[in-house]
Structure 1
Amino acid sequence: MKRYKKIKFAILGYGHIGKRHTDLIVQDPNAELVAVIDIDPFHQENALELKVPLFTNLSEFLNAGIYTDVVNICTPNGLHANQAIECLESHKHVIIEKPIALTKQEALNVQKASIKHRRYAFPVVQNRYSSAIKWVKEILEKQALGEIFMVQLNCFWNRDERYYIPGSWHGSINLDGGPLYTQFSHFIDVLLWMFGDIINISSKFLNFNHEYLTQFEDSGIISFDFKKQGVGILNYSTSIFGANFESSMTIIGAKGVIKIGGQYMNEISYCNVEELEVPSFDSAVPPNNYGAYQGSAANHQFLISNVINVLNGIETPHVNLEDGIRVVDTIERIYTGRIQKEKIGVTNDGFTLYN
């Protein structure tokens, strides 16, 4: 019998999501945390309790000679691709937080390095593990809804001055990229996973209350066709007052209607399909809690487990790198023609001004 190998992980970026990855690795008996890399002194101080070597940059860590199987890339979006390539070239597997890159070409460069050096690059798409989403995927594969007519995806969250704080990478076109990359790429992944690629995209972008906070829109209305069948619309906003409102998907087919709802698209809000009964799901997985705001469902434990099993030859990857590339390509095509705002000054309270 093949011996089960304990997989060694290093965390690159010990912010909110990096801590989430770290907690799951520390709790898993088949995983071992061997290092943390972060440039921020505050994050470094927080990581001291982990009692593992700390590094201030990736090159320093890679040159230290610490045996590592996987590097979890939990840094700002605009750094993901180059850091993933650097790790792959050093013969480390990588887990890449969403999005894997901010352009399709960068994502393809990651794929090229993964193939060349024979190392896995695992994109993080934890919403696929939602019981409600998996169930809808299954009934779509069985064609229980018949021909798909329309799909509407709504993502209405709050991101305000508690999130876009002065000096943060949030709000930067080069490091953040915009709401579709940072907040809603997981839901776009689910859309593509269920219905395939989209074409004939028409995009409208708006900025209701982030004029002085970000270099990009806070809201959008996107219409499109699916390559296979049906039409779709994506409505999104981070201008919701106070707290996240909902992430939902309504599917209208020839044989029925289903709505996946809740704040994090984690429950069946409506189902009217002939001879189809909604099963009882396990308790809803809570969202990633970041204090003043919340993220998507906290399903990262399934990804960590899959990575461990893949590297032990027990499973195949649940999600392929091609899926991560598809998400980046889709968002990039949606954003084609988006106007980037220029920085024009700073307010008295330290917030950057854009026009």
Structure 2
Amino acid sequence: MIKVGVIGAGAISTRHIEGYLSFPEDCKIAAIADIYLDKAQQHVSDYQLDAAAVADYKELLADPDLTLVSICTPPSTHAEIAIAFLKAGKHVLVEKPMAASLEECDAMIAAAQDSGCILSVVAQNRFRTPWMKLKSILDSKMAGEILHAQIDSYWWRGHSYYDLWWRGTWASEGGGCTLNHAVHHIDALQWMMGMPVEVSALMSNVSHDNAEVEDISIAALRFENGSVGQITSSVVHHGQEQQLVFQCQKAKLSTPWALYASSSRQNGFPERDSSTEEELQSFYDSLPEIPYQEHVGQIENVLSAIKDGVPVFIDGHDGRRTLELIVSIYKAASTGQRVTLPLCKDDPFYTKEGLMASVPHFYEKKASVERFENNTITTSGN
């Protein structure tokens, strides 16, 4: 039986708790920690857990029975907490974004390697059937090479969203919508297509004058083979519609799943290619459904990796690549220059201190609310 600790009792922690409770024969939640002890106690009560509630996660480091922890705290704390538990011989599942800097990512990866423990970074959308099917079709090359990628990470957040104490500052949140909302779509892009070699970007804060960080960014990417991509990250889009669109040589593929194929008339104008569409749709339909979706799916993968001694599907290197692409967007938008990848360790944006010294402060934070009474969150617009 794998004994689990959940560090942080904020809104996203409920996804982890419910995920672990889906596998009662494999794991047991033994402890919940939060700096606000009453929040940890409330989770214990709400879910009727036989678990300890503690205010300081350090109380759990020496627990010999604790095998795995989920880290659900603000991004600026991820590295410190993850490294402490890895050095204590515990496996770690850490929420997105992995850390506040590439330097911290490297320290987390090193701690995992030294300890021999698992470090997995949450990217729960990889455990969605449409995303997994789209990845399989792209890998098959049935639609040809990718020519253009379009990532629309559209969210909407009210003005008060950034009043929560740790949101809206570069120091505590690490960034705005590019880092904290578009992270899953940016992860999907590098998972499905690989990393670009060049990034240009701009960003702004157009609707939240109580936050230092951006509420919209637009990036243009160039890949080694000459293909291009675009990423829009936003918390000002009504309707919260997100999509991944890949224009390939033979067809357009996207999630939410849509398919359109064109062939050329003699004069170069298009006509619909129904035979290619039928072939691609048939392959899509033949692919299996994922048995466990989103957080539940990733938690099942981590539990299985612990039991069977095999690698996890999403590790620290995956999380680092995603953060490197996000940091390159921040660098390009902050400097007005095209950024080449990979970023080197002597790059000012490699460290948290270097990034904070270089990014703009659009506004200063005007309020600091410890918690909201209504803690309901939305994790996807469609």
Give the TM interval when normalised to the shorter protein. 0.7 to 0.9
For the Cα contact (< 8 Å) 2:212–2:364, is it kept in 1?
Answer: no
Q: 1:46 pairs with 25, 29, 42, which one?
A: 42
Identity over aligned pairs, percent:
26
Shift of 1:230: 0.8
- CA distance in 2 between partners of 1:344 and 1:310 (Å): 44
Give matches, 1:326-337, under 5 Å. 326-336=321-331
What is the CA–CA distance in structure 2 between the aligned matches of 1:151 and 1:77, rounded to whole Å?
28
- In the other structure, the counterpart of 1:277 is 281
| 1:233-272 CA distance string (max 9 Å, x none) | 111210124xx42111221121111222xxxxxx213332
Whole-angstrom CA distance in 1 between matches of 2:125 and 2:41: 31
Q: CA deviation at 1:346?
A: 3.7
Equivalent AA in structure 1 for residue 84 of structure 2: E
342 and 211 in structure 1: CA distance in 2 versus 1, 3 angstrom threshold: closer
Which structure 1 residue ranges, 4+ long, deviate > 3 Å from structure 2?
Answer: 278-282, 342-350
Given that residues 147 and 229 in structure 1 are in contact (C-alpha distance below 8 angstroms), is that contact kept between their aligned partners in structure 2?
no
Give, in angstroms, the shift of residue 299 of structure 1: 0.8
Q: Is the Cα–Cα contact under 8 Å of residues 196 and 227 in structure 1 kept in the other structure?
A: no
Corresponding residue of 1:218: 215
SS of residue paired to 1:300: helix
Q: Contact (CA 8 Å) 2:208, 2:215: kept in 1 or not? A: yes
Report which of the two has the higher share of strand: 1
- The corresponding residue for 1:114 is 112
**When the two structures are superposed, what TM-score results if normalisation uses the length of structure 1?**
0.84
1:307 shift after superposition:
1.2
Q: Is 1:203 aligned with 2:198?
A: no
Given that residues 173 and 340 in structure 1 are in contact (C-alpha distance below 8 angstroms), is that contact kept between their aligned partners in structure 2? no
Does residue 1:341 correspond to 2:361, yes or no?
yes
Q: Quick one: distance in 2 between partners of 1:348 and 1:106?
A: 26
Deviation string 1:169-197 (CA, Å, 9 cap, x unpaired) is 12121221221221111111110011101
Shift of residue 298 of structure 1? 6.5
Residue 90 of structure 1 is matched in structure 2 by: 88
Give 1:176-191 correspondences, 5 Å limit: 176=173, 177-191=175-189
Q: Distance in 2 between matches of 1:333 and 1:175?
A: 19
Report SS of the residue matched to 2:66.
Answer: coil
Alpha carbons of structure 1 residues 228 and 87: separation in structure 2 relative to 1, 3 Å: farther
C-alpha distance in structure 1 between counterparts of 2:202 and 2:368, whole Å: 32
Identify which of 12, 18, 23 aligns with 1:23: 18
> Against the structure 1 CA distance between its residues 226 and 61, is the aligned structure 2 distance closer, same or farther, given a 3 Å change threshold?
same
Aligned-partner SS, 2:220? strand
Asked whether the 8 Å contact 2:20–2:27 carries over to 1, the reply is: yes
TM-score by length of 2: 0.78
Residues 102 and 332 in structure 1, CA contact (< 8 A), matched pair in contact too = no
Task: Write the deviation string for residues 274-318 of structure 1: whole angstroms up to 9, x where unpaired.
Answer: 132164599x99xxxxxxxxxxx9611111111111111165311
* Greater RCO, CA 8 A, separation 6+: 2
Q: Does 1:234 align with 2:254?
A: no
What letter corresponds to residue 58 of structure 2 in structure 1?
S
Separation in structure 2 between the aligned mates of residue 226 and residue 158 of structure 1, nearest angstrom: 30
Indicate if the aligned counterparts of 1:95 and 1:123 stay in contact, CA closer than 8 A.
yes
> How far, CA to CA, are the matches of 2:75 and 2:132 in structure 1?
27
Q: RMSD across aligned C-alpha pairs, in angstroms?
A: 2.6
Of stretches 28-37 and 328-337 in structure 1, the one that deviates more from structure 2 is 328-337
In structure 1, distance between residues paired with 2:44 and 2:140:
51
Task: Name the SS of the counterpart of 1:99 in structure 2.
Answer: coil
Residue 172 to residue 346, structure 1, CA distance change in 2 (3 Å): closer
- The size of the alignment, in residue pairs, is 322
SS in structure 1 of the partner of residue 31 of structure 2? strand
Instruction: Please say if residues 209 and 362 of structure 2, whose CA atoms lie closer than 8 Å, have aligned partners that are also in contact.
Output: no
Residue 42 of structure 1 deviates from its aligned partner by 4.1
| Structure 2: runs of 5 or more not aligned | 262-272, 335-358, 371-382
Query: CA–CA distance in 2 between the matches of 1:103 and 1:342?
Result: 20
**Counterparts of 1:35 and 1:231, CA distance in 2:** 46
Residue equivalent to 2:380: none
Partner of 1:323: 318
Contact 2:215 2:236 in 1 (8 A): yes
Q: Distance in 1 between matches of 2:170 and 2:247?
A: 35
* Structure 2 CA distance for aligned equivalents of residues 23 and 230 of structure 1: 41
Given the superposition, is the C-alpha separation of residues 56 and 132 from structure 1 closer, same or farther in structure 2, using an over 3 Å criterion? same
* Contact 2:151–2:231 under 8 Å retained in 1: yes
Q: Matches of 1:78 and 1:183 in 2, distance apart?
A: 15
Cα distance 1:344–1:208, how it changes in 2: closer, same or farther (>3 A)?
closer
* Structure with higher helix content: 2
Q: Is the 8 A contact 2:30 2:50 kept in 1?
A: no
CA distance in 2, matches of 1:56, 1:151: 45
The answer (yes or no) to whether the contact 2:159–2:207 under 8 Å persists in 1 is: no
In structure 2, what is the Cα distance between the partners aligned to 1:16 and 1:259?
30
SS at match of 1:159: coil
Matched, 1:306 2:307: no
Q: For 1:143 and 1:111, locate their aligned partners in 2 and report how far apart those are by CA, in whole Å.
A: 32
Q: Give 3-state SS (helix, strand or coil) of 2:246's partner.
A: strand
